[in-house]
Amino acid sequence: MKYLVWVLFPLLGVAQQNNFTDSYSAITPAERVRWMIDTTVDPADLLGHAFSAGFGTWTDSPKELGTHWTGFEKRYINNMATSVLGNSIEAGVGAIWGGDPRYFPAEPGTSLKSRFIRAAKWTVLARQANGEVGPAYARFIAIPASNAISDAWRPASETGGGHLLERTATGFGAQFLRLVLLRKRE
């Protein structure tokens, strides 16, 4: 927890200093639904689920699912279901509190280092209803909550506190990588 504080507070300070987008318009309900769908079926997200399921199948983790295609399929479905649930929670909580889950990619030609810094900031930050930048409260609720709920369908050896924290950290890591890979359309 103390490491999250070390990362989060400096980023919040930077958010107050930087104007991440020159012209911002609040997200509409239709755009929120579109964000939820696009984020759920984003090719990078689907590939990430496949990579994770493949790695789990290769290492036979969790063992209950096995090292065959059926095990891969179950791992992929677990990952996908958790992602759909998390995106739905983030969109719903954001709608109630006015948080905007959208990410505005850097301009084409931006250096990789700048894209990494920008993605790190927007992993923990979001636009608020008033247009200001602040903590991504809906995401802070959605990622741990979706992983806690997913314990209901996961094998017993993969549930509980330690696994929940691991999956939550992986969820934030996946969010960061997804943002690094997003590029502004030219």
- pLDDT value of position 3: 46
3-state secondary structure of 41: coil
Give the rounded distance of the alpha carbon of 37 from its chain centre.
14
Candidates 133, 112, 84; CA nearest to 180 is 112
| Residue 60 included in any domain | yes
| Residue 108 included in any domain | yes
| Residue 73 included in any domain | yes
| Residue 54 included in any domain | yes
DSSP string, 154-176: S-GGG-SHHHHHHHHHHHHHHHH
Q: How many domains does the chain contain in total?
A: 1
| Cross-strand bridge partners of residue 126 | 134
| Residue 18 included in any domain | no
- pLDDT value of position 122: 96
Per-residue pLDDT of the chain (186 residues; tens, 9 = 90+): 444 444 444 444 444 444 444 578 899 999 999 999 999 998 888 998 999 999 999 999 999 999 999 999 999 999 999 999 999 999 999 999 999 999 988 888 888 899 999 999 999 999 998 889 999 999 999 999 999 999 999 999 999 889 999 999 999 999 998 898 887 654
- How many Å apart are CA 72 and CA 64, to the nearest integer? 12
| Residue 22 included in any domain | no
| Residue 20 included in any domain | no
Which structural domain, as residue segments, surrounds residue 159?
28-181
